[in-house]
Amino acid sequence: MTETALELPRRRSLPRLRGRVGREAGVGLGLLAVLGLLAVLAPVLAPHSPEAIDQHRVLGGLTWAHPFGSDALGRDVLSRVLFAFRASLSISLGAVAIALAVGIPIGVAAGYFGRALDAVLMRPIDLLLAFPALLLALSLIAITGPGQLVTMFAIAAIYLPILARVVRSSTLAVASEAYVEGARARGASHLRTIVQHVVPNAIGPALVQASVLCGFALQIEAALAFIGLGAQPPTPSLGLMLFDGYQVLEQAPWADVFPGLAIAITVVAFNLVGDGLRARLDPRGITR
Amino acid sequence: MTPLLRFRSVSVRFGDVSAVDDVSLELSEGELLGLVGESGCGKTTLALATMGLLPSSATVEGAIDFRGQDLLALSEDERRRLRGDRISMVFQDPAAALDPAFSIGDQVAETIRAHRPVGRREAKARALSLLREVGIADAERRYRDAPHRLSGGMQQRVVIATALANEPSLLIADEPTTALDATIQAQILDLIRDLRRRHGTTVLLIAHDLGVVARLCRRAAVLYAGQLVETAPVERIFEAPAHPYTRALLAALPDRSRPRGALAAAAGQVPDLAAPPPGCRFAPRCPLVRDECVRRPLRTAVSSGHDVACWAAAPAASTAAGEIVAATNGGR
């Protein structure tokens, strides 16, 4: 009488996020895990103090004691890269987290309720989107003065409109799904429907975007520090190190190469993870 | 006895489009009524109006009494508390009606917890017994399965389980078998019939297929372009259809005695609902059209429990008879 459903290996809970990740995403995830560990353990791993000046080691080359060499003030580049990376990564992740925390509710509310609320919420977002990213960051910093915290909020302000837009459009698609109407037909309130059914299904593209943006956030942070509007010396910062190393590029390329490599590797790792997530969550490749 | 559900001159408009026009209809307690009509005739609109799930662009007039209480007069929160509890709905496409991100068991349990102050464990136990009742084999193991791991028929069983979770008085089944294979259709219809018998649930079955209605229902109502044209016991619909549209609908049923490929179809097209013809909306296609048809025909009884809204079917003293029917048709 009853149909017997096909027996297949079974999965538990949140089926769409589970399963095999692609090889690239695996490499990206592995890289991120290592990088995250390096950032967290920086104080333990760093062989020297990042601020210890050694006059005998000014622009010193690569040795066992100083594997990445020393900079113009004789500071250990490896230790500085570790600490700078730790600071830069926290700023990037913090910025993306803020942008997600503000952007998701705005995008979901605008997409789900539509009409007047959509207009009220999205017009200011469009206004933010109209500014060139760096100009937006620069004007914020011009108001408050440079610093790491400001850098974080400036990057969040750049990303907020992007993420809100992405969430809004995927929410629009999900909100018209029959299972959302079905949830309402079972007596779920709007809030419950949103939390239980809309957000879990609409959040995928935003997470993909966010993972790629994490990498770019690191670049923006470095760029702001490079032009002197981000972290201020003597705080170790990848952007500041690039600037300092740039002055002595011909005599001691290692003072520039290693912080640059740290940025490059992190951006690649985030991009790989983003691509993997995209393939996983959106097999048709709609979000580009 | 007051009917469980009573549409009193219900009209629904979307801007200029008149989707449902002056529909009056009753469902008595425990009845299984079939609402038949082609796509776009207002069946689903009527269902959504009953649920209170029409988009805000719709305006609803008239009254929908549920146990004597006009649903349209209730606040949004009061309506929400009825939905999924006293009144529930089964949708056409079960694959779309289940959230792909949640296990089937959780979706049944969620419906219970939305209306009953029960704990997680109790809701789960109840959800399990519901899944068993609708015929999900090995419910314990299936409980945590994602919807896409089930076949269409199984998915529709889960949707029915969510709809029955709180023992509703009224179940609206909107084309519950349209998206399913023919062999599975019969199983789902049998399931609905069994469940209704066991729980005494009143069912409004919406279908475009007269065969589905004939299989399940005692009484059927025929809707054309938003107007109710005929209400009758199912066998009367088949044996003695009184409305020209019902006759056209029956003539369009595939018939094995006719040569292959020769499917009958009513001449003409469904009217533009933004500018419907005055009076009877079937008039432009009707073989029996006459001068009176520009006025709205009254509902006339042609026999016991068999009402039709047609000038051609009305006896000479139609007006008076029609009024009496309109006034007393709560009787069935």
Identify the closest residue of chain A to B84 by CA–CA distance.
A186
User: Out of A13, A16, A115, whose CB is closest to B100?
Assistant: A16
Does residue A96 sit within a domain?
A: yes
Q: How far is A156 from chain B (nearest CA, A)?
A: 29
CB contact under 8 A, B135 and A1: yes
ipTM: 0.76
Measured CA to CA, the distance from residue B326 to residue B313 in angstroms comes to 16
Does residue A6 sit within a domain?
A: no
Contact map slice: A 200-219 vs B, CB within 8 A: 200-201
Mean pLDDT check: name the lowest of A18-32, A262-276, B219-233: A18-32
Does residue A104 sit within a domain?
A: yes
How do beta strands B306-309 and B170-174 pair? Answer: unpaired
pLDDT at B331: 39
**Residue A15 pLDDT grade (very low, low, confident, very high; cuts 50, 70, 90):** very low
Measured CA to CA, the distance from residue A12 to residue B283 in angstroms comes to 57
Q: Closest by alpha carbon to A98, among A217, A220, A205, A222?
A: A217
Exposed, middle or buried: residue B15 (CB in 10 Å: 0-12, 13-18, 19+)?
Answer: exposed
Question: Domain tally for chain A?
Answer: 1
Contact B93/A at CB under 8 A: yes
Residue A159, C-beta contacts closer than 8 angstroms, at least 6 positions apart:
A95, A96, A99, A103, A210, A213, A217
Distance of CA B211 to the CA centre of its chain: 15
Does residue A10 sit within a domain?
A: no
Does residue A136 sit within a domain?
A: yes
Measured CA to CA, the distance from residue A141 to residue A152 in angstroms comes to 10
> Which residue type, as a one-letter code, is found at position B262?
A
Q: Which chain A residues are closer than 8 Å to B97 by Cβ?
A: 178-179, 181-182
- As a whole number, the mean pLDDT across chain A is 82
Residue by residue, DSSP assigns A229-260 as SSS-TTS--HHHHHHHHHHTTTT-THHHHHHH
**Residue A285 pLDDT grade (very low, low, confident, very high; cuts 50, 70, 90):** very low
How do beta strands B58-66 and B170-174 pair? Answer: unpaired
Phi, psi of B214 (to 5 degrees): -60, -35
Task: Confirm if A83 and A50 have CB atoms less than 8 A apart.
Answer: yes
Q: Which chain A residues are closer than 8 Å to B140 by Cβ?
A: none
How confident is the model over B174-232, as pLDDT tens digits?
999 888 888 888 889 999 999 999 999 999 999 988 888 988 899 999 999 999 999 99
Number of H helices, E strands in chain A: 12, 0
CB contact under 8 A, B110 and A196: yes
CB atoms within 10 A of CB B288: 14
Burial of B297-317, coded b for 16+ CB within 10 Å and e otherwise, reads bbbbbbeeebbbbbbbbbeee
CB contact under 8 A, A184 and B91: no
User: Which candidate in B78, B92, B99, B172 is best for mutational testing of the A interface (most A CBs within 10 A)?
Assistant: B99
Contact A176/B at CB under 8 A: no
Q: What is the mean pLDDT of residues A228-246?
A: 82
Per the structure, the complete domain to which residue A125 belongs is given by: 23-47+69-281
**Residue A70 pLDDT grade (very low, low, confident, very high; cuts 50, 70, 90):** confident
Contact map slice: A 105-144 vs B, CB within 8 A: 115
H or E stretch covering A24: helix A23-40
Task: Confirm if B18 and B226 have CB atoms less than 8 A apart.
Answer: yes
pLDDT at A13: 41
CB contact under 8 A, B101 and A181: no
User: Out of B83, B115, B144, whose CB is closest to A185?
Assistant: B83
pLDDT at A42: 77
Identify the closest residue of chain A to B172 by CA–CA distance.
A185
CB contact under 8 A, A187 and B162: no
pLDDT at B155: 92
Distance separating the N- and C-terminal Cα atoms of chain B: 9
CB contact under 8 A, B102 and A196: yes
Q: How far is A9 from chain B (nearest CA, A)?
A: 10
Q: How far is B136 from chain A (nearest CA, A)?
A: 8
Q: Which chain B residues are closer than 8 Å to A8 by Cβ?
A: 149
Q: Is residue A79 scored above 70 in pLDDT?
A: yes
User: Tens-digit pLDDT profile for chain B (332 aa)?
Assistant: 688 999 999 999 998 999 999 999 999 998 999 999 888 888 999 999 999 999 888 999 999 999 999 999 999 999 999 998 999 999 888 888 898 888 999 999 989 998 989 989 999 999 999 999 998 888 889 999 888 889 888 999 999 999 999 999 999 999 998 888 888 888 899 999 999 999 999 999 999 888 889 888 999 999 999 999 999 999 999 888 999 999 888 888 776 666 666 666 667 778 888 888 888 999 888 888 888 888 888 888 888 889 999 988 765 444 444 444 444 444 33
CATH assignment at residue A240: 1.10.3720.10
Does residue A286 sit within a domain?
A: no
Contact B253/A at CB under 8 A: no
How confident is the model over A147-205, as pLDDT tens digits?
888 889 999 999 999 999 999 999 999 998 889 988 988 888 899 899 989 998 898 88
Contact map slice: A 4-63 vs B, CB within 8 A: 4-6, 8, 10-16
Cα–Cα–Cα angle for A164, A205, A89, nearest 5°?
75
Distance of CA A171 to the CA centre of its chain: 22
Q: What is the mean pLDDT of residues A229-233?
A: 80
